[in-house]
Every structure is written in C-alpha cells, then in structure tokens.
C-alpha cells in the first residue's frame, strides 16, 4: 500500500513539476530580483546596492508619480465599466436572440479583434481618430463640425482603444454564464408576477455576476499594466504608470525606481484580485 501511495505521489509531482519549474524560473525568480533591486538606489549614474525604502517613499512624495498611478486607476475603472455596459447586451443577444446553430459563428465574429496584432489595432485606431481620420472627415462632410476634433493623443483615444479590445473579452465571460441559465428561471419569475426588467434585475443579473466579475478582473489586470495602447493612442500628454516605468528604464536608466513602481503596480493588481476572490467566495457561500 505504501509503495502504491508513494508511486501515486511521485506520479502526481511529475505532472506538476514542469509547471512549477516554469513558474519559478520565469515568475518567482524575476520577481525576487525585481523586489531586491527596488531596495537599491541609483546615485551618480550608478546603481548602489544599499538597502532602503527610499524608492517607495519617493513615490508618495512625488506628485507626478502619484498622478500617473491615479491616471492608470481612472482609465482602468472607466474602461472596465464601459466594457461591461457594452459587453452585456452583446452577450445577451448572442445567447438569447441568435439561433443556437449560429451562436458559434457569432462568437467567432465577436472575437475577431483578438486575431489582429495589438500594435496594429492601436495604430488603426490612431488613423481613425486623427485630425484627418475617418471620424473627423465624416463629421466635417456632414457639417456637424467646422474644425477637426482633437481625438488622438488624448485619454478618450486610450479608452476607445482599450474598450474595443476588452468588450470582446467580457462578452465571452458573460456569455458563458448566460448559456448555463435555463429558461425555468425566467418562467418562475414571470409566474410570480415579475416583468421583464424585474426578471433581469433580480434573476439574470445576480446569476451572471460571477461572469461579469471574472471578466472585469481580467480587464482590470490587462488594462492597468498595458503600455502599448496608452503610448500610441494617448501619446505623452497624460502619462499612465506603465509609461512612467518605461521612461525610468529607457531615458533615466533608473532600474531601482522602475522596479519599485512595478512592485507598487503589482500590489494594486493583487489587491484587486483579493477583493474579487473574496467577493466570489461570499457569493458562493
């Protein structure tokens, strides 16, 4: 019996060993190096291996760094909310109004943006939102505006680029919840006198909240850490924290400060995960 149990244990570890080694090599070790480097300082163009929290203290003492973090949180929350509001109706239409035999095709069409390079999508939106882009030319052509609007290199452009991508992600997570709900829930609510709005608010929405929360968390994580979209669409007019981190590396070669900012950004993501996981556990209870 002991030999059989030992063999099962060894077999189990052999299955998870590659994943553990990959995680340790490409996440734990780099994270540990970054955490250690965040405690060092750059003095006189050289990295001095002193142990202090000066980089973290400096973050809370420099208004432009705090502003970058606030900008990242504002953009991320706004993108998440808008994406939810747009994705839920789309997921509901696919799940409830599209015939089942066509739903797979509808989902494929919905996720087509995922098949395009992230950089290509961002530059495509830059062309659409430019002063001589499609939107301004159309508005000028029909006489709504007299001068081109400044849409590119703004927060609005960044939000639009993000929403275009994350609506598709949230659509998938919400759709996965909606298709699991049988018609009996709506029938039971209707039998009890609930109208369409009440059925949605008291039955469908609570039952699909897990899918919304999972999609919202993925949107939050991917959005707050993104560098490409804000850099291309937002320009340097309003910096987000990932842009500030890249500036510390590319222009100042200040790796300790960049490491400290990355740790703080990861702390925000971890906090979001803890809150989301706790909420999901409470809902299941």
pLDDT digits (tens, 9 = 90+) for 144-191: 888 888 888 899 999 999 999 899 889 999 998 888 887 778 788 887
Q: What is this structure's pTM?
A: 0.88
- pLDDT on residue 2: 52
**Residue 27 is assigned to a structural domain of this protein:** no
219: pLDDT strictly greater than 80: yes
Q: Any idea which residue has 């553990």 for tokens?
A: 20
Distant-in-sequence, close-in-space partners of 64: CB < 8 Å, separation ≥ 6 = 239, 244
Q: What average pLDDT score do residues 70-86 get?
A: 96
Q: How many domains does one find in the chain?
A: 1
Q: What average pLDDT score do residues 73-77 get?
A: 96
Q: What average pLDDT score do residues 191-203 get?
A: 83
50: pLDDT strictly greater than 80: yes
Burial of 58 (0-12, 13-18, 19+ CB in 10 A): middle
**Residue 43 is assigned to a structural domain of this protein:** no
Q: Any idea which residue has 């709900």 for tokens?
A: 181
**Residue 162 is assigned to a structural domain of this protein:** yes
- pLDDT on residue 283: 62
Q: What are phi and psi of 153, to 5 degrees?
A: 60, 40
Structure tokens at 170: 């949230």
**Facing residues of 43 across strands?**
46
Structure tokens at 183: 């018609």
In the chain, what is the greatest distance between 2 CA atoms, to the nearest angstrom?
84
**Residue 98 is assigned to a structural domain of this protein:** yes
**Residue 86 is assigned to a structural domain of this protein:** yes
Residue ranges making up the domain that contains 167: 63-284
**Residue 236 is assigned to a structural domain of this protein:** yes
Predicted confidence band of residue 282 (pLDDT cuts 50, 70, 90): low
Q: What average pLDDT score do residues 237-250 get?
A: 91
Q: What average pLDDT score do residues 28-51 get?
A: 90
**Residue 167 is assigned to a structural domain of this protein:** yes
Tell me the C-alpha distance between 88 and 95, whole Å. 10
Q: What is the CATH number of the domain that holds 240?
A: 1.10.3720.10
Q: Average per-residue pLDDT in the chain?
A: 88
**Residue 13 is assigned to a structural domain of this protein:** no
**Three-state SS at 42:** strand
Give, in degrees to the nearest 5, the angle at Cα 12 between 2 and 278.
120
* Share of residues in the chain with pLDDT > 70 (%): 97
Q: What average pLDDT score do residues 104-122 get?
A: 83
Distant-in-sequence, close-in-space partners of 118: CB < 8 Å, separation ≥ 6 = 165, 228, 229
Structure tokens at 200: 């949605």
21: pLDDT strictly greater than 80: yes
Count the Cβ atoms, other than its own, within 10 Å of residue 19. 9
> Where are any strands of DSSP class E within the chain?
41-43, 46-48
Predicted confidence band of residue 278 (pLDDT cuts 50, 70, 90): confident
């Amino acid at each position: 019996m002991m030999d059989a149990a030992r063999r099962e244990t060894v077999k189990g570890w052999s299955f998870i060993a590659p994943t553990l080694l990959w995680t340790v090599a490409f996440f734990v070790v780099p994270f540990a190096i970054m955490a250690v480097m965040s405690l060092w300082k750059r003095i006189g163009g050289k990295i001095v291996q002193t142990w202090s929290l000066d980089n973290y203290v400096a973050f809370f003492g420099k208004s432009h760094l705090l502003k970058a973090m606030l900008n990242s949180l504002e953009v991320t929350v706004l993108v998440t909310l808008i994406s939810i509001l747009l994705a839920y109706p789309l997921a509901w239409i696919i799940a409830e109004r599209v015939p089942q035999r066509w739903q797979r095709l509808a989902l494929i069409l919905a996720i087509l943006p995922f098949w395009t390079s992230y950089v290509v999508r961002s530059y495509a939106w830059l062309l659409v939102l430019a002063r001589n882009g499609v939107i301004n030319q159309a508005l000028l052509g029909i006489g709504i505006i007299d001068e081109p609007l400044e849409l590119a290199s703004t927060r609005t452009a960044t939000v639009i680029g993000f929403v275009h991508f994350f609506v598709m992600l949230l659509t998938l997570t919400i759709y996965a919840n909606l298709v699991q709900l049988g018609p009996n829930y709506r029938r039971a609510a209707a039998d009890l006198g609930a109208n369409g709005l009440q059925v949605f608010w008291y039955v469908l929405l609570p039952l699909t909240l897990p899918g919304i929360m999972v999609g919202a968390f993925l949107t939050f994580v991917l959005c707050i850490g993104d560098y490409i979209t804000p850099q291309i669409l937002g320009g340097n007019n309003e910096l987000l924290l990932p842009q500030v981190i890249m500036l510390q590396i590319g222009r100042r070669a200040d790796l300790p400060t960049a490491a400290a900012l990355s740790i703080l950004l990861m702390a925000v993501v971890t906090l979001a995960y803890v809150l989301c996981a706790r909420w999901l556990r409470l809902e299941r209870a």
